[in-house]
Structure 1
């Protein structure tokens, strides 16, 4: 299949962790017309503004990486913000894409769409088979709606709107906020500060027993572009009826305790690790079944320790900005 590098490709959320990685990869592959817009230039929650943007830019393809994201604390504290903003962003972009005859779109979701006690490793068919994890249910419902929007426009209008569901992501341009970040940036920041301040102990939320799978954002970008560029015939031959999304992960998980120990090595922390079991653990285990993606010919290539070193180096180089 020949890739048209002249197509006008809109990357929504290009300043975020995933969006920026997709832009870097598209540039490296030689795409000539990558279209982006900052929040000041385009409010994705404004339907009229989004539609006007599509009309003015004559877009051919969309990577929908824009989203309001955060960790357990942020999801618990701002549930209305998480469900409203994510629903508006995806609905506005997907509908505007259809109205302006954009045939190809890639929606980036999240593994939190799956039930809290889904069978492990989690297959795509586990979607909507049980209750969601309560701490991030509003965000998860918004992401499920995004999948169903893509699926519905495909069914009703013959669009080619694809969805990929990544496991837990980390890497350059992550959110290192002291309270609202995910587990890896939170730990990198906390361990770095402990080393700098010569602290003897680092306290970590939860029991340390839950198991998580982590994917470096550059691998996520590679998988997203790979799936987007797949020939439609190849993709359909590998697709179960009514299955419109693909899991993206490494197929390998570890406990939060093991993760913390690895982060300690990467940051040079030699003190004591203490786990605060009074804090919520979230889902006991969340490992993606990635057999479908592997059968399509793609595998992750960045190991966890390798990826953590890269993320920590980026944090060190941008520490004044990200700490703010």
Structure 2
């Protein structure tokens, strides 16, 4: 297939490009490199397995590159939940407006299929845990979550209006090599600066589901090949969860820092928009005969080791 990946030089995007290239697809990556790094996919570019276009989706000059594409994977986004409460505008522009422009370019250039990476934060403070895809009402408590839900609505409207098909994947916390943000990355950075004390936002009891990035990619591609509705929405995550204090303990173990003390800032939320408890129901994707091979604790340990090794 000829596939396009927006945000393909980013954390999840670069792992997706690895797999798509290995499968023999013709791959075009569009990335502004605002958050992504060219070196994550440089070997594919150098081997002529991937074409790379450095463009911002909010600008022009990339739309015509979609001609002839069979499927577009839209991963480009502003992923910072915390920052969206400080300065919402980049989230609105890079998530909602960029998605609208991608959909318009797909419409104009007859790209029939879209794969979109959404988030568990569209559910807000869900009262049903594990949370299924048909949970209502969807009431995000972060600007980031609201932006992703708005993108889902745009995608649904375009698919039904213009004959496209879409796969929307609502992720739990996806972690692993090349990740540039999140609790594990924050802990590692803080401990490198001060190995004696680790500040933990909130009370450390925030409990969530985590999944290693390779498992996430496998789930996405598996479900995309199986489900054939107009808009196919799936949760992707592990079948268990882990609290923040336990993550801190794993990070200090892997960094060989047995004497580190933990200092909690207090409160059930680590920041504005933080969801204290999150676990997604993955019964729907399990119905397609896919299930994760690792749980949250194992995923965290793998991610910590990969990040510390610089993989």
TM-score (norm 2): 0.84
For the residues of structure 2 that align with 1:188 and 1:169, how far apart are their CA atoms? Answer: 17
Whether the 8 Å CA contact 1:192–1:269 is kept in 2: the answer is no
User: CA, structure 1 residues 12+157, in 2 after alignment: closer, same or farther (shift >3 Å)?
Assistant: same
1:120 matched to which residue of 2?
A: 129
From 12, 16, 28, the equivalent of 1:18 is 12
Whether the 8 Å CA contact 1:266–1:305 is kept in 2: the answer is no
Pairs within 5 Å for 1:195-210: 195=195, 199=196, 201-210=197-206
Pairs within 5 Å for 1:140-289: 140-175=145-180, 181-195=181-195, 199=196, 201-230=197-226, 232=228, 236=229, 244-270=232-258, 271-277=260-266, 280-281=269-270, 282-289=274-281
1:4 matched to which residue of 2?
A: none
2:76 corresponds to 1:66? yes
Pairs within 5 Å for 1:73-84: 74-84=83-93
In the TM superposition, residue 52 of structure 1 has moved relative to its aligned partner by 2.5
Provide Cα deviations, 1:199-246, integer angstroms capped at 9, x if missing partner.
2x21211011121111111111111111222252xxx4xxxxx97411
For the residues of structure 2 that align with 1:293 and 1:115, how far apart are their CA atoms? Answer: 21
Runs of at least 4 residues off by over 4 Å: none
Any unmatched runs of 5+ in structure 1? 1-6, 176-180, 237-241, 320-324
1:297 matched to which residue of 2?
A: 289
User: CA, structure 1 residues 267+306, in 2 after alignment: closer, same or farther (shift >3 Å)?
Assistant: farther
In the TM superposition, residue 25 of structure 1 has moved relative to its aligned partner by 1.4
For the residues of structure 1 that align with 2:79 and 2:3, how far apart are their CA atoms? Answer: 23
For the residues of structure 2 that align with 1:293 and 1:209, how far apart are their CA atoms? Answer: 28
In the TM superposition, residue 183 of structure 1 has moved relative to its aligned partner by 1.3
SS at match of 1:209: coil
In the TM superposition, residue 59 of structure 1 has moved relative to its aligned partner by 1.5
In the TM superposition, residue 300 of structure 1 has moved relative to its aligned partner by 1.5
TM-score (norm 1): 0.81
Whether the 8 Å CA contact 1:151–1:244 is kept in 2: the answer is no
Any unmatched runs of 5+ in structure 2? 34-53
2:140 corresponds to 1:132? yes
In the TM superposition, residue 186 of structure 1 has moved relative to its aligned partner by 0.8
Whether the 8 Å CA contact 1:166–1:247 is kept in 2: the answer is yes
In the TM superposition, residue 108 of structure 1 has moved relative to its aligned partner by 0.6
In the TM superposition, residue 51 of structure 1 has moved relative to its aligned partner by 2.3
SS at match of 1:49: coil
In the TM superposition, residue 13 of structure 1 has moved relative to its aligned partner by 0.6
1:35 matched to which residue of 2?
A: 28
Whether the 8 Å CA contact 2:167–2:231 is kept in 1: the answer is no
In the TM superposition, residue 305 of structure 1 has moved relative to its aligned partner by 4.4
User: CA, structure 1 residues 193+310, in 2 after alignment: closer, same or farther (shift >3 Å)?
Assistant: farther
Whether the 8 Å CA contact 1:124–1:243 is kept in 2: the answer is no
SS at match of 1:307: helix
- Structure having the higher helix fraction is 1
In the TM superposition, residue 298 of structure 1 has moved relative to its aligned partner by 1.2
SS at match of 1:122: coil
For the residues of structure 2 that align with 1:184 and 1:71, how far apart are their CA atoms? Answer: 15
In the TM superposition, residue 294 of structure 1 has moved relative to its aligned partner by 0.7
For the residues of structure 1 that align with 2:297 and 2:126, how far apart are their CA atoms? Answer: 28
